[in-house]
Structure 1
Amino acid sequence: MTRPAAAALDRFRELLRIPTVSMPPGEPDADGAPFVRFRDAVERLYPALHGALEREVVGGYSLLYRWRGADAAAPLVLMAHIDVVPVVADEWDRDPFGAETVGAGDDAEIHARGAVDDKGALVAILEAVDALVTEGFTPQRDVYLAFGHNEEVAGDGAQAIVEVLRQRGVRPSLVLDEGGAVVEGAIPGVHMPTAVIGVAERGVMTVHLTARELGGHASTPPRDPATARLARAVLRLHRRPFPTRLVPPVRAMFETVAPHTTGPLRPVFASIGVTGRLLAKVFPRLGPELNALVRTTAVVTELAGAAGANVLATSARASVNVRLLPGDTAASAAARIRRVIADRRVEVEVASASEPSPVSPWTGPAWDRLVAATASALGEDVVPTPYIQLGASDSRWFTEISDHVYRFTPFHLTRGEREALHSHNERIRVGSWLRGIEFYRDLLRAG
C-alpha cells in the first residue's frame, strides 16, 4: 500500500456504519436518507477522486463516475452496489452496523453488514482509484465506476446506469462486478487457493403455486383442502429436482483445476469429457454449492394460507425461487414445474423472471487482464478459473452493452465468511481486504 492502511480501514469502517439497507421497489415512503448520507460521506472521504472524476446520480441514488483516460473507446467498468440486506440484530454477536474490529494484524476481522456484500469491493475500488489519482496516474482508456443502490431487491439502479451508457454509445471492453472469490477447499480434491471468476450467472425466477377452495369453518374441512393440494405439489417439486448436467464453464473449471487436484479425482477431472456425466450426478451429494453448479434449482421460500387458525384457506400459496442454469429458460422451467406437480387444480404463475446471462469468454485480452491482476496482487499460487455465478448480480444488465462481463470479488474468503453473506456475523479479514485494493490498482494500471 502506498497510503497508510490504517486510514483506509478507518474510511471503510465509517462507510460500513451507514445503514444503507435496500429500499423495496415501488414503496413511496422508503427512506433514502442513508443513501444520501453515504453519497456525501464518499465525497468527503475521497476528495482526490471527486476532483478528477465526473459523477452523476442516476435513478435517485445510484452513482456513476467517469474517469477520462487517454482514449474513450473500449472502457473498463468496475461495479459494486451500495445497498445491503436487512439484519436481525439479535442474531449477531456484535452491532451489525458498528464495524467493530476484532483481533490484530492481517487476521483481524471487521464485523459489519456489507463488509463483503458489497461495500468491501465498493470501498476497495474507491481506495484504488483515489490513490492512483493522487499519484497523478491517468488510465489508458476511460474507466467507469458503477454503483447501484438496489441490487439486493433486483431494483432498477444498475439498469438505469446501463441505459445512460447505452444512449451514449459506450461499449465496455471489460465489466467487473461482485461474484466469485479466492477460495480453498470449495472444489473436492483441490487444496490450492482458487480464484473462481464468474463468466455467467444463473437466471432468477419467482413462481407462485396456488390452490383454491371455497373456504369456511375449519371444523368441517373438505376431503381435499387447498392446503393439502399445495403441500402435495410442494413435495412433488422437492422430490423431483431438475436434471443435472455440466455446462461449458463448469466443464472448463474442472479442466483448469485438474493439474492442481490431488488423489483419485485428478484423473477424473482431467478426463472430464468422459467422466462429466457421472460427476454431474455425484456432485449434488457433496454439498449445496456443487449441486447448484450442475442443475437448475427450485426451492419453496414462502408459504401462505388462511388468516386464522380455525379458518379454511380460500387460497393456499407457495413461492418458489428458481435459479436457471445456462441452457434452461424461464419458459422451459415453468413447463417442467407444471409437469412435475401434475395437478391442474394448482395454478403455476411466473411472477417474475430473468433469463441466464450470456457466457463471457475465458480467453482473450479481457480475461488475461483479470488473470494478471489476480497473480500480481493476490498471489502467483492462486489458480484463476471460469465459474458459473450461483447468485444474481447487477452485472446481468451490463451484458446488453458488453460481451466481456465478469463476476469476481478479489478477497480470500473462508467457508465461514462465505456462509455469513446475507446471514449474521458478516465479516472480512483486514489483510484480505487490503489485498483486494491492490487487485483493483493492478487491474487499472494494466489497461
Structure 2
Amino acid sequence: MTDQQDQLEAFRDLLRIPTVSSREAGRWDDDAFAAFHDALRRHFPLLHERLERIPIGTHAVLFHWRGASADRPVVLMAHIDVVPVEGDWRHPPFGAVVEDGVVWGRGTLDCKASLTAICQAVEDLLAGGHTPAQDVWLSFGCDEEIAGVTAALAVDELRKRDVRPWFVLDEGGAIAHEVLPGVQVPMAAIGVTEKGVASIELSVEGRGGHASTPAPMGPTARLARAITRLDRSPMRATMPDAAVEFLRRAAPHATGPVGVALRVAVRSRPLLTRLLLAAGPEAAAMVRTTFAVTTLSGSPALNVVASNATAGVNIRILVGDTMAGAIAHVRRVIRDDKVRVTVVHDGEPSPESPLDDAFELIEAVTAEHFPRAVTTPYVMMAATDARRFTEICERVYRFTPFEMTKKQREAIHSYDEHITVGAYLAGITWYRSLVERLPAGPR
C-alpha cells in the first residue's frame, strides 16, 4: 500500500472502535477504550516509543514530545470518545465504509479525524528525524462528550510539571463552506472563545390529586407560565469582539444584497447586532445568552394532577455575561417565588484569546494549505475540553483543519457523519506543517 493508503486504513481502524462515552457507569465500554489505545500503539509505534506517555484518569492520555526548547510549549488536543448512534444511517456508523472518496462513520468529524491526523503527523515527523523547536504535548481526553473530568486532570498534570503553554489547539471550527448567505469562499473559522454551558432545573410543588377536580394554577400550569415568560424575555444582545471580527473579515467576500447589508452593518456594532438578531436563531445565538427548555416531567398518569412538575433548561452563556447574571435574569422574568430554580451544572464562558503571534502562526499555516479560505476568529457555540486549559494558558484556540460543507456540519452529533478522504489527508499535512513551523527561542 502507499503511504496515503496506510494513513487512511489507520484512520478507518480507529473509527471502527465504538468508544461511546456515557454518564451511566454501567453503559461504559472499557474494553472499547482499551482496544482504541492498543490500535494507537499498533499504528503509531514511533510516537509511543519516543514520546513520554502519561495516563490520565480512566482512558485519557498525555504525550510529551521534547523539543529543542521548552520555553513555548504547545498543546494539541482531541478526544477519543464519541456520542451514541441515532437516526437512520446510510452506512453502518462504526463500519468506516469508504464510498466514492468519502469515509462514513461516527467520529469522522467529532473528532477522531483530528486525533488520528495529529498522531499521523507526529509519526511522520519522527520517522523523518524531526525535532520540534518547542516542546509539544498531545492531550487526548476520553469523556469530552459528557463534560467529564479528564481534561481538568490533564491541566492538573501540566500544572504540576510547571508547563505553561504558549498556545493550545483543540477541535472546533473548520474550513467551513456555506457559512453565510452570499459568501462563496470558505471561512477558516478559528474559535478564540466559547460560550459557557450551564444547566438549571425549574420545579414547582403542589398538592396534586385527582384530575377530575383540578385546582387553578397547579404545578404544571405554574411551570408552563414560567417557561413561557422565560421564552418571551431573552437576555440583552451584545456583540463580542470575535463575532465582529468574523463578520468584518467575511464582509468583503459577500455578494448581492447580503453583501451590501453586511458591509454597511460592520461599521456599527449596534446595527450589526440587530442584523444578526433578525437573521434567525443560529445567527442570534452569536450575540446573546440563550435558554433552551430541554426536559419536562410531571404527573406519572393521565388522570393524576402532578404534585411536582420540573423543566430542565440548558443555558449557553455569551462572552461578557455570567452565570450569576443568567440566573438573576431567570428569576426576574419568571416573577414567581413558587418556582424553584436549582443550578445543576455551572459553566462560565471562556475568555477571548488574543489575535497575536500564535494566532498568526495558525493563520499562516492555514493560508499555505487552504489559499481560498478566509481565516477568521469566531465565537464557538458548543463546549470543548479546551475551556479547561484557559486556567494555564491565555491562547486557547479551537480549529479543525478539515474542509466541511454545511451538510457535513449538520451531521455532527446526528446521523451520516462523514469526511472526504482528501480532506482527511490534507488535515494531516496541516498538522505536520504547524509543528514544523513552531518558532525557536524564548517567549
The normalised TM-score by structure 2 is 0.95
2:107 is aligned to 114
The partner residue of 1:406 within 393, 397, 412 is 397
Displacement of 1:272 after TM fit?
4.7
Taking a change above 3 Å as real, the CA distance of residues 432 and 213 of structure 1, as seen in their structure-2 partners, is same
Amino acid at match of 2:277: P
Deviations 1:312-363 (A, max 9, x none): 211111111110110100000011011111222111112111110011011x
Residue 366 of structure 2 corresponds to residue 374 of structure 1:
yes
Deviations 1:368-414 (A, max 9, x none): 1101110122x212110010011000000000111110001111111
Contact 1:251/1:272 (<8 A) preserved: no
1:328 is aligned to 321
Deviations 1:61-95 (A, max 9, x none): 1010011111122111100001001112x522221
Residue 424 of structure 2 corresponds to residue 433 of structure 1:
yes
The total of aligned residue pairs comes to: 438
Residue 235 of structure 2 corresponds to residue 242 of structure 1:
yes
2:30 is aligned to 32
Contact 2:79/2:144 (<8 A) preserved: yes
Unaligned runs of 5+ in 1: none
1:253 is aligned to 246
3-state SS of the aligned residue for 1:91?
Answer: coil
Taking a change above 3 Å as real, the CA distance of residues 298 and 3 of structure 1, as seen in their structure-2 partners, is farther
Displacement of 1:216 after TM fit?
2.0
Displacement of 1:40 after TM fit?
1.1
1:93 is aligned to 90
CA distance in 2 between partners of 1:199 and 1:253 (Å)? 11
* Counterpart mapping for 1:373-392 below 5 A: 373-377=365-369, 379-392=370-383
When structure 1 is superposed on structure 2, of 62-71 and 336-345 the one drifting more is 336-345
Deviations 1:194-215 (A, max 9, x none): 1010000000110111111112
* Counterpart mapping for 1:54-133 below 5 A: 54-88=52-86, 91-103=88-100, 108-133=101-126
Contact 2:219/2:307 (<8 A) preserved: yes
Residue 314 of structure 2 corresponds to residue 347 of structure 1:
no
2:284 is aligned to 291
2:433 is aligned to 442
The partner residue of 1:195 within 169, 184, 188 is 188
Unaligned runs of 5+ in 2: 439-443
Amino acid at match of 1:214: R
* Counterpart mapping for 1:276-287 below 5 A: 276-287=269-280
CA distance in 2 between partners of 1:31 and 1:4 (Å)? 32
The partner residue of 1:229 within 222, 225, 229 is 222
The partner residue of 1:212 within 205, 215, 219 is 205
3-state SS of the aligned residue for 2:252?
Answer: helix
Amino acid at match of 1:330: M
Deviations 1:272-326 (A, max 9, x none): 5643312322323424331211111111111111222222211111111110110
1:365 is aligned to 357
CA distance in 2 between partners of 1:270 and 1:176 (Å)? 31
3-state SS of the aligned residue for 2:344?
Answer: strand
Amino acid at match of 1:59: G
Amino acid at match of 1:276: R
1:308 is aligned to 301
CA distance in 1 between partners of 2:171 and 2:70 (Å)? 24
2:441 is aligned to none
Contact 1:254/1:272 (<8 A) preserved: no
Amino acid at match of 2:389: F
CA distance in 1 between partners of 2:250 and 2:267 (Å)? 16
1:47 is aligned to 45
3-state SS of the aligned residue for 1:337?
Answer: helix
CA distance in 1 between partners of 2:139 and 2:32 (Å)? 18
CA distance in 2 between partners of 1:316 and 1:12 (Å)? 47
Displacement of 1:28 after TM fit?
6.6
Amino acid at match of 1:178: E
CA distance in 1 between partners of 2:90 and 2:253 (Å)? 38
Contact 2:20/2:29 (<8 A) preserved: no
3-state SS of the aligned residue for 1:179?
Answer: coil
The partner residue of 1:171 within 132, 154, 164 is 164
Deviations 1:238-270 (A, max 9, x none): 222222221111111122223222234445544
Residue 411 of structure 2 corresponds to residue 420 of structure 1:
yes
Contact 2:192/2:398 (<8 A) preserved: yes
Deviations 1:28-51 (A, max 9, x none): 773322111111110111112112
Contact 1:300/1:321 (<8 A) preserved: yes
Taking a change above 3 Å as real, the CA distance of residues 23 and 32 of structure 1, as seen in their structure-2 partners, is farther
Contact 2:85/2:106 (<8 A) preserved: yes
CA distance in 2 between partners of 1:191 and 1:280 (Å)? 22
3-state SS of the aligned residue for 1:399?
Answer: helix
The normalised TM-score by structure 1 is 0.94
Displacement of 1:185 after TM fit?
2.4
3-state SS of the aligned residue for 1:56?
Answer: strand
Structure 1 runs (4+) deviating above 6 angstroms are none
